[in-house]
Structure 1
């Protein structure tokens, strides 16, 4: 038992309630993430120096994609949670699938939803789909950060029991044990750290001219930060630990790491081959 336990800052999940209408922090977190991601993506699309030439899309394209992205996040995130985490419960209670305001969104489902939205939008606008992947991937950490803060406010997805002096007792914990505030760990790793690493690639290394590289980096780095976070987070009670002490979050993240590394390698080699072909065709001096 720790000698010190930080008091959990009990924040009402409902910001404002007027009759049956309620504005929840959970919903505001998604709105904030989408708006900030939209703003950042527009900036990336507008700066030619980051692309070493003409950007693959315009800020107007980003404006139009926001609706597609929002649908992908909400529909994919909810369906992912239903299918990956609680299929038996929602099969028995199908109407609760639509009660998104009660919480229950899966990042991996939202990720797949946005991927589908990007493919359809890129084809519709004749944009290089890998470049669109890159811009959106660099903007996603905003949503991840605010989503984890919302998890903390909802006192959900809390951590494993611990004796660290910053442990907290969450009001939703049946056992009332001091636990890691793992939502804050994940907000830092998946939001702040991931954003800074991707920004180094876009603004310092300037790899936006390698379509698919940032998307691959995002997948690999997110997978790594998620796996790290899972060591402090309690697995969902209805799933528990899997074989070898793995969790569902780890299991879903491992393929992302492998695919991300493969995609970065492919994007870098593809750019190198293109540069080699241009050099071979240039006149000798």
Structure 2
């Protein structure tokens, strides 16, 4: 069977000493797409859009720091404990979405504490923007030929020629499509139901859907961690389980929580 061959240069363009990579361009696009979405939400709810620039700083720093530390300590702890200065070498690659999620939550909490905003109320709305963010990031992973799937003969398998000649599951695209569907579902519920009035419900549903999808897609991915667990589940799946149950707790709890506004 003839499979689609992917061999895109990770460099978008170079101009003298300046080099722009596809990953950086798509990561920046993810940030601005999430910001645009939040501006739309704040406009709909008559909130102060000007505060979003400050929120962006907290969340982006949280994502980058959390994703880097998550990669270092969740997926390759032996190497980074032995070479702690390498933790700072973010240009060498290595970001973990679970750590990025935790970092985003911490960054949002710090922002809300400073600006007297209800944290869960804001996280409900950021959940949808995060799904939009994920579409771009996983697309960037696809362009970079990283986070590869297992070899496969399915008709839609792809040969990542920069890596090897094997046809593989495009696991990055599976995840990007999952985020697209999650963003669409959450947006529809946000616009057409009263779910946004139940604090924690949108965040809970986001966690349930995202980490259910992540758990399943991990079966199609190659091992990302530098170690092997004595379990049928891999590291990504083990890390997804707590997020899933937090989501269930938040969603069920939201049914009994009075509606709130953004302010505490």
Fold shared per TM-score above 0.5? yes
Distance in 1 separating the partners of 2:243 and 2:64: 20
The corresponding residue for 2:22 is 25
Distance in 2 (alpha carbons) for counterparts of 1:239 and 1:59: 45
Deviation (angstroms), 1:212: 1.2
Residues 18 and 119 of structure 1: CA distance in aligned 2, closer, same or farther (over 3 Å):
same
Q: Secondary structure at the match of 2:197?
A: coil
Mapping of 1:45-194 within 5 angstroms?
45-48=42-45, 57-173=47-163, 176-189=165-178, 191-194=179-182
Instruction: Decide whether the 8 Å contact of 1:214 with 1:264 is kept in 2.
Output: yes
The question of whether the paired residues in 2 share the 8 Å contact of 1:138 and 1:198 is answered with: yes
**2:10 corresponds to:** 13
Residue 18 (structure 1) shift: 4.1
Could you tell me how far 1:244 is from its partner in structure 2?
4.0
In structure 1, the partner of 2:33 is 36
Q: Does residue 1:4 correspond to 2:2, yes or no?
A: yes
| Mapped contact 2:75–2:225 kept (Cα < 8 A) | no
State the aligned residue count: 260
> Is contact 2:34-2:133 (8 Å) kept?
yes
Q: Which runs of 5+ in 1 are unaligned?
A: 49-54, 275-285
Q: State the TM-score, normalized to the length of structure 2.
A: 0.92
* Aligned: 1:232 with 2:220: yes
1:216 aligned partner: 204
- Structure 1 pair 237–66 and aligned structure 2 pair: CA distance change class (3 A): closer
Q: What is the RMSD computed on CA atoms of the aligned residues?
A: 1.9
CA distance in 2, matches of 1:41, 1:71: 17
Counterpart CA distance in 1 for 2:54 and 2:170 is 37
Cα distance per residue 1:49-88 (max 9 Å; x no partner): xxxxxx6x42222232011111011111111111101112
- Cα deviation per residue 1:155-175 (whole Å; 9 max; x = unaligned)? 11110111112222223545x
Highest Rg: 1 or 2? 1
What displacement does 1:219 show?
1.1
Q: 2:256 aligns with which of 252, 269, 272?
A: 269
CA apart distance, 1:237 = 5.9
